Structure 1
Amino acid sequence: MKQWNTTITAWLIFLPLIFLIPSAYAAEDTKERVEQVHAVLTLDTAIALAEQSNPGLAQRQAQAEAMSALPSQLGSLPDPMISMGLVNLPTDSLNTSQESMTQWQLGISQEIPFPGKLALKQQAATERANASALMTTEYKQQLIQYVTSYWWQLFYLEKTLAIISTNKTLLKQFIDIAETKYRVGHGLQQDVLLAQLELSKLLNREIELNSEREQVVIRLNTLLSRPTNTAIQLPAFQHIDTTLPEIKPVDEVLDIAEQSRPFLLQQKHLIAAASEDKALAEKDLLPDFKISAAYGVRQGHNLDGSDRSDMLSLQVGINVPLFADRKQKMAISQKNSELKQQQFAYQDSWNQVQSEIANYITQYQQARQQYSLLDTGILPQARQTIASMLSGYQVNKVDFLNLVRAQITLYDYETQLWLSVKTAKTALANLEASVGKDTFYE
């Protein structure tokens, strides 16, 4: 009876552990699944990581913040100057009460630019600060463009590697069929060798693509400011948006770009800043002012015995542009040339933007049309052809060489399908960066 009680006690102790073991494994599996989910790098996640951690973007943001602190500095009056000294001290006695003009003097002076000059300086600095902020936005959009391009390049490589894996399996089946037919006297040895050669070509292509994938991973991790050997796992295919929407005509897209592209807006602010600089150079022909006041404390007594009174001095000064022909007027000419330079730079930039947008739209439309043709026409027909030829080959009605060539053609079409997706998505990313907005969709 005692032994029976001991057995029951033991079971009562270990029975909960039996139920806890599966729970522990389940918890571990759940943890692993959560980690795998977090390891998946969606396009939105990649863009968010780049915006948060890319040092180049952080550098430009800091530069823009520094530039934003300049306008108030340049729009303020120069600091006043306070002076203190001993005036008209006789050198024979160094006595401060011997001469009536000897005095301890406390003074203050203030330089005052001609009205309007400070406002022009401040406005020019404001325009440059706005230009710097827009260049930060421009860099951010370029960063998103690069991240998007590398992400879709990685997508294309992984889809191509998956297609290669499928084709390797099919070619191995072809080899098995060819060897079987050769052994029973219904096939040729050259069929076996041909299939093995094509399999070797696929293996070589797989090596090339894996190397290219590693390079893209390194570039993408660099943009995300992560260790270059960080593994990247893309989402499952069904969670990736591969739709290729309609976009507006070129003229409408150009109108949007002219009003929203940060680079062009930055050029406009630089033109405005150059215009303010020119106006300031013209105002430099007008004089600046300097006002000063001093209070002098005198010691000693007058001849009649009364105390000597203190002295107050007031002064106004102006600068005289005696060398205007060689200085101020040359500065005006210089600023006028700089203004023209900025205007020509804007026109050149606008021409480049128009060319970029037209090219990206052409690339996108071509890739979109190719995708539609491959997806709805060529690939279904090619797959039906392969299925029919494989059945015919098994009953000796189709030549093995034609079967292998048809399978290779199907492989080429399948890779072209995903290449067209990658090309179209990259063109859209480039177009969005060139336009400055994604409002060009129909």
Structure 2
Amino acid sequence: MTKNNVWALCGDSQSADQPCSMTSRMGYLRYLLVLPFLAVLPAVADSTKLTLQDAISKAISEDKWLDSSLHRETALRALSQGATALPDPKVNLGLLNMPTDSFDFNQEAMTQLSFSISQNFPAGDTLRLMAEKYSVQGDQLPLERDNRRAILTMEVSKLWLTAYQYEQSIKLVLRNKKLFEQLHDVVESSYSSAYGAAKQQDLVRSELELIKLDHRLAELEQGKRSALFKLSQYIQSSSSSAVASTPIGLDVNSVESLSLSAAAMQKPSSEVLMRRLSQHPMVQMVEARSSIAQVDKALAEQQYEPQWGISLGYGYRGDDLSGNSRADLASVVASVSLPIFSSRNQDAQVKAAALKVEAIVSEKQLVLNELRSKYLTLTSDIELLQGRVELFQRQLIPSYQQSAQTTLNAYTSNDGFFTEVVQARIAILNAQIELLAIRVERLKRLSELNYVLASTAEEVSK
């Protein structure tokens, strides 16, 4: 800071040729320290920045797993349509009972040219059940996609919020760094002035705090870049370096949407909660697997049914040696399987299929219990974090500000130490950063709660 600028800090009543009083200089020092206390995290949305909703939309629209799942569903639907078709019939064409001494077709009465066609029919309702199985498997894939979208929304939200926390912390530190730079200039000017009362240790301490703030900024920038690089794995259209250099903008509507599910489910009854959780894609996926297991059980039971087959044949015979014509031959053959030796194997398959159904029913209850436990844990955490936010806003930060003001008054009255002034200011900065961390942690819990309360696309449309 130049000499003229130093004098300008004292106000218009002092000239550049006349040093300002220590009282005026310390009055400006008090102004520098008190003014930033009322600043609270301005969150202004910017359309050029990477908003939370933009990140979620890009992650979902560019997810290759969702495309792969859609292709698998289409394949299963096609298999379901073709599963009801009967097996292809078999055609046989043969020359029967040809005499080997003369190879004369007309020599023996048994010699004939045979043509036959046969058709097998699967046991019971096997074909219908196979079509149903493919259809139910296809019904499971949209549920998996709903769950995948919910997971992507949660994971991207948490990474975005982490990057946002680092960026806002950087802004807080930069704001305080400007204050410390101005404070350093005032202390340096006071130390070099014949009328100043600043000590050498005050000057050294102010320089040390500036260095520490630079180191803190480097740490925060490293954390922000790490979070953005992790976020880039979900946003494939942008390079990692491009995402890492993208500024984070707070989309107020997107952040408020994180609270939507929690606001809609304020302390529901146990019955209402379990009914809501039963619509979660994970629970619906278990029910779909249960339906598949029931179809498998029905298919196993079809093995007790006989498998039928039918064959139609025609045999052409030539004339006898005297030139008289012989009658052609026709045949009809029906076949049926006799489940005699395979009964033990069939019993084992049916029993295994039935036990699998029971296991999946138990799995559904386990998933519901896990979701309920997560819901209770998250709602408790959110409530406690909100209490901590209110404690910081109503008591801690005002107390830190009052302490800083008291320390500053003592220092300006030559009844305190510059170190205490700096420590008080650093304490306010730490409190503001900790308040930001608590707010972000609460939003992360809300994003996890939204996943727990997620519903399938079909339920949402209702």
TM interval, shorter chain, is 0.7 to 0.9
Change (3 A) 1:386 1:92: farther
Change (3 A) 1:235 1:154: closer
Map of 1:316 onto structure 2: 334
CA contact (8 A) 1:300 1:307 kept: yes
Structure 1 Cα separation of the partners of residues 385 and 71 of structure 2:
39
Map of 2:411 onto structure 1: 393
Change (3 A) 1:89 1:368: farther
CA contact (8 A) 2:98 2:105 kept: yes
Which sits farther off after the overlay, 353-362 or 59-68? Answer: 59-68
Work out whether 1:266 is the aligned partner of 2:288. Answer: no
Which sits farther off after the overlay, 204-213 or 337-346? Answer: 337-346
Structure 2 Cα separation of the partners of residues 140 and 94 of structure 1:
75
CA contact (8 A) 1:82 1:107 kept: yes
Map of 1:288 onto structure 2: 307
Change (3 A) 1:95 1:203: farther
- 2:119 corresponds to which of 110, 130, 136: 110
- 1:189 corresponds to which of 186, 197, 200: 200
CA contact (8 A) 1:254 1:357 kept: no
Q: Scaled by the length of structure 2, what TM-score is found?
A: 0.78
CA contact (8 A) 2:51 2:250 kept: no
Map of 1:248 onto structure 2: 265
Structure 2 Cα separation of the partners of residues 379 and 143 of structure 1:
36
Map of 1:365 onto structure 2: 383
Once the two structures are TM-superposed, the CA of residue 376 in structure 1 deviates from its matched residue by 5.0
Map of 1:133 onto structure 2: 142
Structure 1 Cα separation of the partners of residues 344 and 309 of structure 2:
24
CA contact (8 A) 1:85 1:106 kept: yes
Q: Secondary structure at the match of 1:293?
A: strand
Structure 2 Cα separation of the partners of residues 145 and 235 of structure 1:
17
Map of 2:346 onto structure 1: 328
Map of 1:215 onto structure 2: 226
Once the two structures are TM-superposed, the CA of residue 102 in structure 1 deviates from its matched residue by 2.9
Unaligned runs of 5+ in 1: 1-36
Map of 2:96 onto structure 1: 87
Once the two structures are TM-superposed, the CA of residue 171 in structure 1 deviates from its matched residue by 1.9
CA contact (8 A) 2:167 2:248 kept: no
- 2:241 corresponds to which of 223, 226, 229: 229
Work out whether 1:175 is the aligned partner of 2:198. Answer: no
Map of 2:360 onto structure 1: 342
- 1:77 corresponds to which of 86, 99, 106: 86
Map of 1:25 onto structure 2: none
- 2:434 corresponds to which of 401, 411, 416: 416
Map of 1:124 onto structure 2: 133
Which sits farther off after the overlay, 154-163 or 342-351? Answer: 342-351
Change (3 A) 1:420 1:240: farther
Structure 2 Cα separation of the partners of residues 413 and 319 of structure 1:
81
Structure 2 Cα separation of the partners of residues 288 and 355 of structure 1:
50
Which sits farther off after the overlay, 428-437 or 176-185? Answer: 176-185
Change (3 A) 1:235 1:208: closer
Once the two structures are TM-superposed, the CA of residue 165 in structure 1 deviates from its matched residue by 0.6
Once the two structures are TM-superposed, the CA of residue 264 in structure 1 deviates from its matched residue by 0.9
Structure 2 Cα separation of the partners of residues 150 and 191 of structure 1:
41
Change (3 A) 1:326 1:238: closer
Which sits farther off after the overlay, 253-262 or 421-430? Answer: 253-262
The AA in structure 1 aligned to 2:143 is L
Structure 1 Cα separation of the partners of residues 373 and 426 of structure 2:
38
Q: Secondary structure at the match of 1:40?
A: coil
Question: Deviation digits for residues 173-232 of structure 1, max 9, x if unmatched?
Answer: 332333344444523333333333333332222111111111111111111113211145
Map of 1:20 onto structure 2: none
Structure 1 Cα separation of the partners of residues 348 and 251 of structure 2:
67
The AA in structure 1 aligned to 2:218 is I
Change (3 A) 1:163 1:107: same
The AA in structure 1 aligned to 2:298 is A
Structure 2 Cα separation of the partners of residues 344 and 134 of structure 1:
19
Change (3 A) 1:309 1:208: farther
CA contact (8 A) 1:294 1:313 kept: yes
CA contact (8 A) 2:314 2:331 kept: yes
**Matched length:** 403
Work out whether 1:300 is the aligned partner of 2:318. Answer: yes
Once the two structures are TM-superposed, the CA of residue 290 in structure 1 deviates from its matched residue by 1.3
The AA in structure 1 aligned to 2:135 is T
Map of 2:451 onto structure 1: 433
- Give the alignment of 1:2-13 within 5 angstroms: none
Question: Deviation digits for residues 368-414 of structure 1, max 9, x if unmatched?
Answer: 33334434554455446545654653443543223222212211221
Q: Secondary structure at the match of 1:229?
A: helix
CA RMSD of aligned residues (A): 2.9
Work out whether 1:198 is the aligned partner of 2:216. Answer: no
Change (3 A) 1:397 1:326: same
CA contact (8 A) 1:257 1:434 kept: no
Change (3 A) 1:344 1:238: closer
- 1:50 corresponds to which of 59, 67, 83: 59
Question: Deviation digits for residues 117-165 of structure 1, max 9, x if unmatched?
Answer: 2223332332222223311221222112111111111111110110111
Change (3 A) 1:283 1:437: closer
Question: Deviation digits for residues 25-56 of structure 1, max 9, x if unmatched?
Answer: xxxxxxxxxxxx87532222222211221223
Once the two structures are TM-superposed, the CA of residue 359 in structure 1 deviates from its matched residue by 2.1
Percent of aligned pairs sharing the same letter: 24
The AA in structure 1 aligned to 2:446 is L
Structure 2 Cα separation of the partners of residues 130 and 204 of structure 1:
54
Work out whether 1:145 is the aligned partner of 2:145. Answer: no
